[in-house]
A and B are shown apart, each in its own frame.
Chain A
Amino acid sequence: MSESIVTPPVNGGTAKVSKISEAVIRFAGNSQDGIQAIGGFLARLAGRSEQEVMTFMTIPATISGGPSIFQVRIGSGEVLSAGDEADVLVAFYPHSYEEHIGALRKGGIVLYDSDHVQPNPEWEKQYRHVAVPITSRTVEAIGGTAKDKGKNIFTLGLVAKMFDLNVPKLERLISERFGGKDESVVRSAMSAFHAGYGYSLGEVLETFQFREPARKDRQQVVMTGNEALAYGLIAAGIRFGAAYPITPWSEVMEILRRELPKYGGTFVQCEDEIASACMAIGAGWAGRVAVTGSSGPGISLKGEAIGWAVMAEVPLVVCDIQRGGPATGLPTNVEQSDLNIACYGGHGDSPRVVIAPVGVEDCFYTAIEAVNIARKYSVPVIILSDQSIATRIEAMEEPKLEKLCQDLTPDLSAVADYTPYPLDGTVTPRLAAGTPILSGKYPISTGLEHDEGGHPSGAPKMHLQMTARRRRKLQTLAAQLPQPQVYGPPEGNILLLGWGSTQGPIREAVDRARAAGDSVSALNLRHLNPLPPGLENIFAGFNHVLVVEANDEGIYGYGQLAGILRARFCLPKIIGLNKTDGLTWRVGEILERVKSDVAAGLRRL
């Protein structure tokens, strides 16, 4: 519903219908109000209506209660980010109103619970205020005791009316969601929904209708990044995993613990992070690549074991759902500050693969890619997701599961002989334990430097050759990686370069800058270690390479990826664009920062 799309009528009068192509709605309340559920319903509805959807949520780190928000952006076209400014703010409490009014665009609509919120006369001049006694109307609809529980569904009804959403589809979603529970729960939810839907906003508000989206080839599925990652791992053939709970990774392990038994697999909750890495490596050693995961603090603890997997050449997939650090840091916020530990957080020279998914859908495919790289090169692969991808809900095209699902049951048929660490440069997959070797010579997997058969050797030449062997595997992989594609023209003034979850806002920033006549393109890297081929040529086409990262600018003025790229390409035109407020990059923020750098004489636009 951003500026170019709809101009709200100033006259009150009778209900009017406006066509819109997208809307950003922010719900602000407390975490126990179930506002995530409203967002979930809207996201799922959008998915079923072939609309694009992206959500953004913050959950407090406290155990129960505390302010919580959920923002949903629904569009008929491509939605790249959760939206900078909200078109509609739904505020349940005075604190929700006061803290989030700033997130609303000027002239936007604030729908507030008039049972709790007293509107500010100053703000009433800038935003359209709509008072709804949400609390008392919900009590009226479903009875006195359950008021806190039903407010979210009442509000869903309000929003459904306001945006002319498909009621039968929403009713079906509500009954699916509460279907497993007592009949009265579904009934209450329906009553709350219809009370909200029936509440007359007609006097003060028009109805907004989404334009029909372009038809999609395939059906959409709607899920969070953590769900996409977990299901991607299952599709890839992972049947064993081990981990220790930590926010925001826990959801992945909960899903795998629940789902893997259906596939004959096992997920173990371990005593600690170290044990979980070791257990996954043990299972990988036994014949089938396994997964462990965590967030930053846990990744630090897994470091020694990952080093062993590098040395012994055992496949392993490690998921790092990044949050703010160091130490306990910001457990429920986003940061991209684990890139260095992912690439270099090992003792000794321990080359490992690092891949960062760029969004929810990519989490699914990255999981499969990571598993296959780990298998092919017998190497640990770290998937660097982050809190923002993990918790947001997006609609994605349904993957072709029949084609994508892999069976990784180990082949235990006999072999004549087996050399685990050949020095002739061949990449040898791990031979599963249980395989008869007819030569009678069995391999040892070891963390000591070793010869081709795995027997300890401290010979200078051997360490030199084996170190090179481990490094060359990554060089071989690098040569096979696809060259990344520039978003926008391949030559120009500024290249905005990002990795992982910043892809959406960066691309949207490019769209806006180009619409304003600026020469800006973007590149988003998924493969971070090794880097993909062809970057030199891409960089050559631009005057400035601005590396947009959600991490600190560091002692020398550039973030973690910028540091790696500067070391790799020796280009002074690679400059950092960093922030560490624990929030996702907003489109406007990127553009402002680019412009302020220009004003400061760092570069010209």
Chain B
Amino acid sequence: MNDTAIQVPQRGNITSVPPATPPDAPRQPLTKKELSADHPTWCPGCGDFAVLALYFKLVEKRKLWHEKIATVAGIGCSSRFPYFVQAHGAHFIHGRALPFASGISLSRPDLHVFVFGGDGDAYSIGGNHLTHTARKNIKMTYVVMDNWVYGLTKKQTSPTSPLGFKSKTDGSGAIDQPINPMKQLIAAGASFVARATHTNPNHLLQMMEAAMDHDGFSVIECLSECVEFYEGAFDASNPRKGGKFETVPASHDVTDEVAAYKLADAPFPGYFGVFYKSGRPTKNALEAKINADARLKVAGKKDWEILQATFDRLK
């Protein structure tokens, strides 16, 4: 029976080489050049360029290494992101970037997991995963580039398109109540919820840093304009276009869920900054605790001996 089992060497035909530098040696931060991969395919003027540039800046500033980051996305214009980053990356299926990233986060505590995507991915096809990744508080950073429209498929209504928005699927204007992403995220139990916009890079970088430092599921709802299919959507939030960029009031208590919910209720352009933050334990930590307790009972045993003990009880 076991003769049919195919024996596989650990890494097949891949050969190891000595590392370029000893693991603990000081390394220079990665430059934009070292981090750039494919040339972005986004339309000129797209808000997503800002998010990409700030991601490079974040990696550089926080001295993260190529191999230590995992860049994951689903499907959509913004989800093309991983192709433009020189790191282990995955361009997954529509709406499922979060469970995919959860598999990485829960099995590889040594990696920083960043997920990028759009409003369709996050709030429509992947809505259920957003709720449950938030509820489970799986450690990763999620940047939702919300442009209020389906851009890749060329202008259909998105779950965040405002009422009355004319698209190819709502010729006379959208009639379905749009989702309020901030309310959705707070209600789902995301332990870090922030709002940003591509037109304020310094603030966005600040939010990205805070999100990365948060031990848990951190989400940034980032307005990112689609100049092709929804030009001017966010002008009211952009001072250069006569709009108003108002940060979360200093008096706001980020641990107050109800207060955060009220902030999220403000009409557009609303507030920018961290709405809600909770220090509740991550699933990563809770699973690690279960494992530590379980390992205590089998301390010193090899894996096959643990299984042998189970089999002995099946005799």
Contact = CB atoms under 8 A, between A and B. Distances in A.
Interface of A: 44, 47-48, 176, 219-223, 227, 231, 234-235, 239-240, 242, 259, 261-266, 268, 270-272, 274-276, 278-288, 290, 304-305, 307-308, 312, 361-362, 365, 368-369, 372-373, 375-376, 398-399, 401-402, 404-405, 407-408, 411-416, 418, 426-429, 431, 433-438, 440-448, 455-456, 480-482, 526
Contact of B306 (A240, A262, A278, A416): A262
Contact of B1 (A263, A282, A361): A361
B91 A447 contact: yes
B6 A266 contact: no
B8 A285 contact: no
B89 interface: yes
Contacts of B20: 414, 436, 438
Nearest to B131: A271
B83 A278 contact: no
Interface string B93-130: 10010111111101110110000000000000000110
A428 B12 contact: yes
B37 A223 contact: no
A324 B159 CA distance: 38
B93 A447 contact: yes
15 contacts: A221-B315, A222-B314, A235-B307, A242-B99, A278-B96, A369-B6, A372-B8, A376-B6, A399-B311, A402-B308, A412-B67, A434-B111, A445-B91, A446-B83, A482-B4
A286 B103 contact: yes
B19 interface: yes
Given A416-B15, A444-B91, A405 B303 contact: yes
A369 B7 CA distance: 9
B93 A304 contact: yes
A282 B103 CA distance: 5
A45 to B, nearest CB: 11
Nearest to A369: B5
B314 A434 contact: no
B14 interface: yes
B106 A268 contact: yes
Nearest to B90: A445
Given A48-B315, A242-B99, A433-B104, 19 more contacts: A47-B315, A234-B303, A262-B294, A266-B106, A270-B132, A275-B128, A278-B99, A279-B102, A279-B103, A285-B90, A312-B90, A376-B8, A404-B2, A429-B12, A433-B111, A441-B86, A444-B82, A446-B90, A448-B91
Contact of B91 (A261, A275, A411, A446): A446
Given A268-B102, A305-B93, A434-B67, A415 B16 contact: yes
Given A262-B294, A266-B287, A271-B131, A416 B17 contact: yes
Interface string B188-200: 0000000000000
A213 to B, nearest CB: 16
A438 B106 contact: no
B83 A455 contact: yes
A267 B91 CA distance: 24
Given A263-B306, A266-B107, A221 B287 contact: no
Contacts of A282: 72, 90, 92, 99-104, 107
A219 B91 CA distance: 49
- Greatest chain B CB density within 10 A among A223, A431, A445, A448 is at A445
A44 B314 CA distance: 8
Given A283-B106, A401-B304, A413-B19, A308 B88 contact: no
Nearest to A48: B315
A264 B12 CA distance: 25
- Greatest chain B CB density within 10 A among A176, A398, A401, A431 is at A401
B103 A436 contact: no
A281 B13 contact: no
B163 interface: no
B168 interface: no
B107 A239 contact: yes
Contacts of A436: 19-20, 65-67
A456 B314 CA distance: 51
Nearest to B67: A436
Contacts of B310: 231, 259
A553 B102 CA distance: 42
B58 interface: no
A278 B311 contact: no
B83 A444 contact: yes
A259 B295 CA distance: 11
**Sorted from nearest, which 6 A-B pairs have the closest CB atoms?**
A282-B103, A261-B294, A283-B103, A278-B99, A405-B304, A271-B132
A231 B306 CA distance: 11
Nearest to A373: B6
A443 B88 contact: yes
Contacts of B34: 440
B308 A401 contact: yes
A533 to B, nearest CB: 13
B106 A442 contact: no
A143 to B, nearest CB: 30
Contacts of A441: 86
B24 interface: no
A413 B16 contact: yes
B83 A434 contact: no
B14 A429 contact: yes
Contacts of B96: 274-275, 278, 305
B66 A437 contact: yes
Contacts of B16: 411, 413-415
Contacts of A275: 96, 98-99, 102, 128-129, 132
A279 B12 CA distance: 24
A477 to B, nearest CB: 8
A129 to B, nearest CB: 37
Nearest to B18: A414
Nearest to B291: A261
A48 to B, nearest CB: 6
Nearest to A374: B8
Contacts of A223: 314
A482 B6 CA distance: 11
B187 interface: no
Given A240-B103, A369-B4, A415-B16, A434 B86 contact: no
- Greatest chain B CB density within 10 A among A283, A405, A428, A442 is at A442
Given A231-B311, A418-B14, A271 B128 contact: yes
B128 A286 contact: no
Interface in B153-204: none
Contacts of A407: 303
- Greatest chain A CB density within 10 A among B14, B37, B310 is at B14
A428 B14 contact: yes
A274 B126 CA distance: 10
A588 B304 CA distance: 42
B94 to A, nearest CB: 8
B2 A376 contact: no
A286 B297 contact: no
- Greatest chain B CB density within 10 A among A176, A270, A312 is at A270
A438 B12 contact: no
Contacts of B4: 365, 369, 481-482, 526
Contacts of B291: 261, 264-266
Interface in B284-309: 287, 290-291, 293-295, 297-298, 302-304, 306-308
Given A434-B88, A434-B108, A440-B86, A278 B17 contact: no
A375 B101 CA distance: 20
Contacts of A399: 2, 311
Contact of B66 (A308, A416, A442, A526): A442
Nearest to B313: A176
Contact of B70 (A264, A375, A433): A433
A283 to B, nearest CB: 4
A287 B307 contact: no
B63 interface: no
Given A368-B5, A447-B92, A290 B86 contact: no
A436 B65 CA distance: 9
